[in-house]
Amino acid sequence: MLSKIGAFAAKKENVAGTAETIAVADVIYIKDGKLKIVTDKLERGVLRNVPTPLVPLRGSEKCELSGTFEMKGSGTAGTPNTQLGDILESLGLTETADAGFRVTYSPDADLDGIGSITAKMFVDGKYRTGKGIRGDGSWKFSAGKLLGLDYTGQGGFLLSGDLGKLAEPSDTIKPPAAIGAMYLLEHHSDNVYALPSGSDYEGLRMATVGEELAVTINQAAAFKPKYLVVITQKVGTPAGETLGFWAEIQADSTGDPSGTAITNGTTAKILTTLISTTKQYTILEFATPPTLAGTTPYHVVLKGDWTASDTNYIKIGTIACALGAQQSQKKSTTYAAISLENVGCILVGASEPEQVFGDVELKLGCAVSIDQSYQAADNGYGLAKITAHVPEITLAPLEVLDATRNLRAYQGSGTDLFWLARVGATAGNKITFLALHCKVSDDGDIDDRDGQVTHPLTVAVETPSDLSIIFE
């Protein structure tokens, strides 16, 4: 089947339902795009002394927008892809840009403040324009294929004149292809985690109160972490173009870190120049996943190599941890115990073949409704509103996994899982999808004859704000 790729333009509205002027800079590619005008017909079912009915009258009119947008960054880390960003915001996602670092989109808790877009497209020989458009979105991850945003939205039909022809969009930045090995859905360490709700933190590499931070963990079973996720915020200017922070997993020595990383237990360094001055996730990666034995205490030690300072350091934010009796948090240089609520980390399992899924779909689950209390003066159409986000991840039928990685074992159990998907590797065009507190719903089935899962597995993201789409 032939897929049509055409020019489409969208711009975020300063006032929802009030059309913006479309410019060349607002043009973006859309695949299989449709901008359809839907008119309510008002039938006049009156009795007549002739057999023909009266012609229906036109009532309120609306537009319906659908199509697939290419997922790609701006080419510069921390600078939004404005055209795609406006569309993402119309899904009820809040944009947070940190220059030189990253741009993050997460579901907005303020549903009344969600952005809307004016959209324009050449359809059936003429330009059509809609306004006040909000919608729902999903992403399908398939190995070796481009990642696209499948969009469906609705809004009002703009009756004003033509806004001018659309120009060819820039194609300097190419969308990255998906790599199946970068999809990960895994149980994590015994630490249960969430975004910090307050300002609690501990300073990393401060001169007077300690240069290192350590979190003691004790897994119930053997574990191979691939990623370590912490919440960071830069204070001042911990200087040095080659300086940064990293993590080590160290063995236990009478309750304290041993001082030496275990085999493969050191992550790559994150440079201080890439740390944002606003609170957010930072992902550190182990080149080769280290092996942690079950029921054995270890220490995750955070270190830095800039000059220790009480004015130039990195905050490590609060993570709500369900810590076992043997787990604690300590600060160097004497490793004195600190509050269990001030620092934490997420250990995420190794990206091994049995944990890779080649067909995954993330559905944002926007509940779009029409607010009839708002009536557009020109066409009588109510304002499209998003009333809820219900994000979920769907896994296509797959082989049953081995006993330690069997996702079916988590069906209906309420066990927290962690989902991570990465596409692209070039700065300014690398996209990470991150979801915390995922639960496998009890809707899968199995064919005992050949050990195959015969129905998709659905994984719910319990809290919408636990989902982030990160452009780096």
Query: Has residue 14 got a pLDDT over 60?
Result: yes
Q: Which of 344, 361, 389 is the last residue of a domain?
A: 344
User: Are the beta carbons of 274 and 242 closer than 8 angstroms?
Assistant: no
Do residues 357 and 245 share a domain?
Answer: no
437 belongs to a structural domain: yes
- How many other C-beta atoms can be found within 10 angstroms of the C-beta atom of residue 167? 13
Query: Has residue 362 got a pLDDT over 70?
Result: yes
Q: Which of 315, 344, 373 is the last residue of a domain?
A: 344
267-314 per-position pLDDT tens digit: 989 888 888 787 767 778 888 878 888 888 888 888 888 888 889 988
- Place 15 in a pLDDT band, splitting at 50, 70 and 90: confident
- Place 449 in a pLDDT band, splitting at 50, 70 and 90: very low
154 belongs to a structural domain: yes
Do residues 178 and 31 share a domain?
Answer: yes
301 belongs to a structural domain: yes
471 belongs to a structural domain: no
Do residues 110 and 58 share a domain?
Answer: yes
The pLDDT of residue 160: 52
Query: Has residue 390 got a pLDDT over 70?
Result: yes
469 belongs to a structural domain: no
How far is Cα 138 from Cα 133, in angstroms, rounded to an integer?
17
How far is Cα 43 from Cα 170, in angstroms, rounded to an integer?
46
Q: What is the pTM of this model?
A: 0.73
Residues near 53 by beta carbon (within 8 Å), at least 6 away in sequence: 43, 44, 45
- Place 152 in a pLDDT band, splitting at 50, 70 and 90: very high
CATH number of the domain that 286 lies in? 2.60.120
Do residues 416 and 304 share a domain?
Answer: no
User: Are the beta carbons of 420 and 408 closer than 8 angstroms?
Assistant: no
- Place 84 in a pLDDT band, splitting at 50, 70 and 90: very high
Query: Has residue 73 got a pLDDT over 90?
Result: yes
Domains of the chain: total: 2
Do residues 316 and 398 share a domain?
Answer: no
Do residues 292 and 339 share a domain?
Answer: yes
Q: Which of 319, 344, 369 is the last residue of a domain?
A: 344
187 belongs to a structural domain: no
Domain that holds residue 202: 192-344
Average pLDDT, the chain: 75
Task: Classify 259 as helix, strand or coil.
Answer: strand
Do residues 361 and 309 share a domain?
Answer: no
The pLDDT of residue 86: 95
Q: Considering only CA atoms, which of 430, 472, 85 is closest in space to residue 274?
A: 472
Residue with tokens 């507190």: 437
The pLDDT of residue 375: 55
472 belongs to a structural domain: no
- 216-225, 286-295, 426-435: the lowest-pLDDT one: 216-225
22 belongs to a structural domain: yes
Residues near 115 by beta carbon (within 8 Å), at least 6 away in sequence: 12, 13, 16, 86, 89, 90, 134
Residue 81 is classified by DSSP as -
Query: Has residue 338 got a pLDDT over 80?
Result: no
